[in-house]
Structure 1
Amino acid sequence: MSVHGDSLRQLLRPLRVYELEGSVNGAELDAQGETLDLIEGVLEEIQREMLVCTAEGRGLEAIESLLARRPVTDRLEERRAALAALLRIGGDSFTLKAINDNLKGCGINAVAGETDTPGKVTVHFPNVPGIPDGIEEMKAIIESILPAHVLIEYVYWYVTWALMEEKFDTWGDIEAIGPTWEELEKMVI
């Protein structure tokens, strides 16, 4: 028996007019109840998928199909946040705070900063030594967020001997671990 079929029986029982069990009336209520159960499931899915903050599949795909750029992450919560950030981009999204909020929301570990030169900003990648993985995709998203007339200077940083000396006392400490240069860069952060 269906949940809605039981509800229909509860509604009709006080009338004492219908034979609700083992009859044509009961079978009809069961059929209608099963259909209502199916409809409820579909409506719950539609309700979930229509909001960015609760969507899990089709809703996120539908929103992504409307946008020129896709989030750089596949994890559900980060994907939702990235889509929300991409949807917020508008005519008033060009303050430094709004730009950085949009970058963060898109799942990009980047920070935009002002320079002394009008019409020029820097974008750096904190806690990411060297050139980040997926930089071309990140650049495309960053350049779609920032106004077209703004010159963007990408700033990368690399591990220095001073940073390594802060982290390790001797070369022997480094050799004992045996990291590759890429692993060493990440340890120094």
Structure 2
Amino acid sequence: MSYRDYLKELLRPLGVYDVEAPFNGGELTAAGEALDGALGALEEVERESSLVTARSWGLEGVAKLLLHRPAAETEEGLSQALAALLRIGDDSFTPGAINDTITGCGVAAECMETGVGRVQVRFPGVVGIPAQIDRLKRIIQEIVPPQVEIAWFYRFLTWAELEEQFPSWADLERAGLNWSQLEMQVLP
């Protein structure tokens, strides 16, 4: 129900106003439209002030506070990434917490501890070097504590996969692949 209708229904039982008359009705319509506009603006501010419900300028405002924009491509992904970054605290440096933060930031990566002060970062489901790797590295390097050494792992064709797909050099030559195409022939 609009505020115009609400005001008319509120004043009708009093009998003092003829809510359908041009003058009284026009006054109530103008006041109701102003209240509807104010309500719309307040609802937008309320929606955009929470990461759970924000969908436009609220997300962008929070993202501008950060050194690097999260790698998320959708509004929902950006909302989750910002929430993940805001969850980082003094106890957020366990491998599990680092992985939660990395994936929460929209980066499809996995961080595994490989020794004291060492981690390996993989990109599951990605063959070769991921697009925008420099940006992804910057984001991950800001999440992983600075004293931890990061080894980057990229998935390419292995000799075993090559031999399985192309039992002979003739089979390989018939495929007509250049080196870049060949190294991407990873088995699922």
- TM range, normalised to the smaller chain? 0.7 to 0.9
* Alignment: residue pair count: 186
Distance 1:53 1:126, change over 3 A: same
In structure 1, distance between residues paired with 2:31 and 2:166: 73
**How far, CA to CA, are the matches of 2:79 and 2:185 in structure 1?**
28
Change (3 A) 1:169 1:84: farther
Task: After TM superposition, give the deviation of residue 40 of structure 1 in Å.
Answer: 1.6
For 2:174 and 2:76, the matched residues in 1 are separated by 39
The one-character-per-residue Cα deviations of 1:77-128 (angstroms, maximum 9, x if unpaired) are 2222212212212222111111001111111121111122x22211122222
Query: Normalized against structure 1, the TM-score is what?
Result: 0.85
TM-aligned CA distance change 1:111 to 1:59, over 3 Å? same
CA distance 1:127–1:11, change in 2 (3 Å): same
What does residue 149 of structure 1 align with? 147
Note the C-alpha offset of 1:150: 1.4
The 5 Å alignment of 1:111-126 reads 111-116=110-115, 118-126=116-124
Q: Give the root-mean-square deviation of aligned CA atoms.
A: 2.4
Q: Give the match's secondary structure for 2:17.
A: coil
Matches of 2:87 and 2:72, distance apart in 1: 18
Question: Between the two proteins, what is the percent identity of the paired residues?
Answer: 46
8 Å CA contact 2:156–2:186 kept in 1: the answer is no
Is it true that 1:159 corresponds to 2:184 in the alignment? no
Shift of 1:179: 6.2
Matched ranges for 1:132-147 at <5 A: 132-147=130-145
Per-residue deviation, 1:180: 6.1
Q: Using the alignment, how far apart are the partners of 1:114 and 1:140 within structure 2?
A: 19
**TM-score normalised by length of structure 2:** 0.85
Q: Which runs of 5+ in 1 are unaligned?
A: none
**Deviations 1:131-172 (Å, cap 9, x if unpaired)?**
222111111111111112212122223211322444567775
1:22–1:183: structure 2 CA closer, same or farther, 3 Å change rule? farther
* Secondary structure in 2 matching 1:108: coil
Which stretch shows the higher mean deviation, 79-88 or 156-165? 156-165
Tell me how far 1:74 sits from its aligned partner: 2.4
Distance 2:187 2:153 in 1: 19
